[in-house]
Amino acid sequence: MTITLTAEMSALDTPLVIKGREFRSRLMVGTGKYATLDLMRRAIETSGAEVVTVAVRRVDLDRTKDESVLAHLDPAQYFLLANTAGCYSVADAVRYARLARAAGFNEWVKLEVIADEQTLLPDPVGVVEATHTLVAEGFQVMAYTNDDLVTALRLEDAGAVAVMPLASPIGSGLGLLNPYAIRTIKHRLGVPVIVDAGVGTASDACITMEQGVDGVLMNTGLAAAKDPVGMAAAMRYAVEAGRLAFLAGRMPRREVAVPSSPRAGMLG
Amino acid sequence: MPNVPPATIFPRMTPSETHEPLVAAGRATAPDTSRRDARPGSIGLTINGEVRTVPQDATLADVLRSLSLDPRTVVVEHNREILRDRDAYATRRLHAGDVLELVHFVGGG
């Protein structure tokens, strides 16, 4: 499939900028749960994403499993954003962030402090505390959080370079559950708002972007699609469509019909 | 993808990136591998949660080599201290009961 980014797209929108760094796409993608690493590589390529998340885990000493994800992704082509997924305490999240930084790519981290195993909902107190710690150490923190305005404001105060409220729980594919909350967060924050988690299909991504947020991060929505490469193309267009619709400004909703054709000039 | 690079390689780090120990070195969390080791001239380490025996005078670089790991593709935590200078692996001494964590990037969201 050939994806052509139209020239007018760049004329209609400004690039996503986080902490002075410009990114070529408002769509960010994860690298987990793909059936094969080759499928992952093709889906990510098709998505047009520049920011690609990775997780920090032990090396398999007996090497029975596949090797590092970096064997399949060119770090020169993508911006690697390490996450602290799976961390249930501030101490663990900080430790994983430090390990990720020691890999030597950048000082950025997608900070997750998870509170509950069933919902994987974030720990708002923990994520604010960990943000303080990591910002003091020079990290650029993108903080995963609930769709709660007050936590989002606290994260901005703590020095997060972007705040990442969820659309719905990680891996749920339930789409944007609270557009009002996301809009409120976007209105009140100065730093970019990237909606992370829960986007299940293209309409979810589009509706999310229509709220005016700066970007969307997804993983399972692509990896668990029947055809991840096809869904990556759909998501790419959906994010762009939602962004352009937001910028264009939708018509007002009304409860009654208004004809599009003139009432005058009808035959007698 | 045209020209797939040798992407398993982490970028080269400079000594200026070397950090102080982030957590005080300690062996309290390790199983007592110092005593279960029977062979003279060798010591027990805990590597990624597994007890492994290495020669007494082995350096960190030796251990990585024996595991067939390219030092540029892993990050090493030695007794809770993250090592940010890969050039120092060759002189990094290991002691009985030491705990090593060897990590890399895997798929995640």
Domain boundaries, chain B: 43-104
Q: Which helix (H) or strand (E) holds A94?
A: helix A90-102
Q: What pLDDT does B30 receive?
A: 47
Q: Which residues of A touch B107 (CB under 8 A)?
A: 30-34, 37, 40, 54-55, 69
Residue A80 resides in a domain? yes
Give B39-85 pLDDT, tens digit per residue: 678 999 999 999 999 999 999 999 999 998 888 889 999 999 999 88
- Does A30 contact B8 at a Cβ distance shorter than 8 Å? no
Question: Which distant-in-sequence residues (6+ apart) come within 8 Å of A3 by Cβ?
Answer: A46, A48, A233, A236
A39 touches chain B (CB under 8 A): no
The range of the structural domain enclosing residue A137 comes to 21-57+67-248
Burial zone of A242 (CB within 10 Å; 0-12 exposed, 13-18 middle, 19+ buried): buried
Q: Which helix (H) or strand (E) holds B77?
A: strand B75-78
Residue A62 resides in a domain? no
**CATH of span B43-104:** 3.10.20.30
Tell me if B21 sits within 8 A of B73, measured CB to CB.
Answer: no
Question: Which distant-in-sequence residues (6+ apart) come within 8 Å of A112 by Cβ?
Answer: A83, A84, A85, A86, A87, A93, A122, A127, A144
ipTM of the complex: 0.87
Chain B stretch 49-108, residues whose beta carbon is closer than 8 A to a beta carbon of chain A: 49-50, 52, 67-69, 73-75, 77, 82-84, 101-108
Residue B25 pLDDT exceeds 90: no
Token couple for B67: 């595991």
Q: Which residues of A touch B49 (CB under 8 A)?
A: 58
Q: Please tell me which residue in A19, A33, A65, A110 is annotated as part of the active site.
A: A110
How far is B41 from chain A, CA to nearest CA, in Å? 23
CATH number at residue A191: 3.20.20.70
What total of structural domains would you count in chain A?
1
Determine the residue among A99, A108, A218 to mutate to test chain B binding: the one whose Cβ has the most chain B Cβ atoms within 10 Å: A99
Question: Which distant-in-sequence residues (6+ apart) come within 8 Å of A78 by Cβ?
Answer: A44, A49, A50, A51, A52
Q: What is the pTM of this model?
A: 0.85
Chain A stretch 226-265, residues whose beta carbon is closer than 8 A to a beta carbon of chain B: none
DSSP 3-state of A263: coil
Where is pLDDT greater, at B12 or A72? Answer: A72
Of A75, A76, A99, the CB nearest to B82: A99
Give the Cα separation of B38 and B60 in Å (integer): 21
Token couple for A196: 């992370």
Per-residue pLDDT of chain A (268 residues; tens, 9 = 90+): 455 555 556 678 999 999 999 999 999 999 999 999 999 999 999 999 999 999 999 998 887 565 678 888 888 899 999 999 999 999 999 999 999 999 989 999 999 999 999 999 999 999 999 999 999 999 999 999 999 999 999 999 999 999 999 999 999 999 999 999 999 999 999 999 999 999 999 999 999 999 999 999 999 999 999 999 999 999 999 999 999 999 999 999 999 999 999 999 999 8
How far is A104 from chain B, CA to nearest CA, in Å? 6
Give the Cα separation of A163 and A159 in Å (integer): 10
Token couple for A223: 């990896």
Distance, CA of A249 to chain centre: 22
DSSP state of B10: P
Is residue A19 among the annotated active site residues? no
Residue type, A165: P
